Amino acid sequence: MTNETPISADIFKQSLRLLAGGVCICTTAMNGERLGLTMTAVCSLTLEPPTLVVCVNRDAGAHDMMRATKRICINFLASEHVELAELFSSTSFKGSGRFDPAKWTDMKSGMPALNAGLAALDCSIIEESTVGAHSVFVCEVKAARLNPEKEPLVHFNREFCELLPIA
């Protein structure tokens, strides 16, 4: 790994494919309508206060509702959730119909939480900025539901993967 290449869009994409990421579905809701999308651009920021950075494409169906409500729920997916990850990133199946009522229960805030997810973090958006096609949301975590016994869903090199412990 000694061949250094000047960065280009293609090399940047190739590079980021090599960064394994936990897969989330980020949701919001307003006036009885639920929206959400599959995401890996979720990163911890500070412990005090408990904050995360979440980067959402401004063309995403849920983006404008997230900005309007300033409230989101970040659902960490388990390895059994590949189909859900595909559904919430589908280019053909959009909107509230992605939510099977049997699989989702609202947090006290009204944000949709996945019952069988690894974790659901109910957040307020406290700051936002724009970089290129994306909004960068700084989110303060207000409440959590945890299922720590589950295995995570990981995205690496354009594939959904499971984690294997190093023996």
Contacting residues toward ligand FMN, per CB under 6 A = 23, 37-41, 55-57, 60-62, 89, 94, 155
For ligand FMN, the closer of residues 39 and 113 by Cβ is 39
Annotate 55-115 with DSSP letters as a single string. Answer: EEETTSTTHHHHHHH-EEEEEEPBGGGHHHHHHTT-SSS-GGGG--TTTEEE-TTS-EEET
Beta-bridge mates of residue 30: 33
Q: Is 53 exposed, middle or buried (0-12, 13-18, 19+ CB in 10 A)?
A: middle
The least CB distance from residue 47 to ligand FMN, in Å, is 22
Strand order in the sheet with 24-30: 33-39, 24-30, 71-76, 119-131, 134-146, 51-57, 42-46
Instruction: Provide the minimum distance between the beta carbon of 136 and ligand FMN in the complex, in angstroms, as a whole number.
Output: 11
Q: Are 20 and 6 in contact (CB under 8 A)?
A: no
Q: How far is the CB of 32 from ligand FMN (least distance, A)?
A: 17
CB of 122 to ligand FMN, least distance (A): 19
- Rank residues 37 and 118 by Cβ distance to ligand FMN and give the closer one: 37
- Which residue number, 74 or 107, has a Cβ lying nearer to ligand FMN? 74
What are the residues whose beta carbons fall under 8 Å from the beta carbon of 18, sequence distance 6 or more? 156, 157
Q: Which is nearer to ligand FMN, 5 or 31 (CB)?
A: 31
Supply the minimum distance, in Å, between the C-beta of residue 4 and ligand FMN.
Answer: 27
Contact 116, 105 (CB under 8 A): no
Question: Whose Cβ is closer to ligand FMN: residue 5's or residue 129's?
Answer: 129
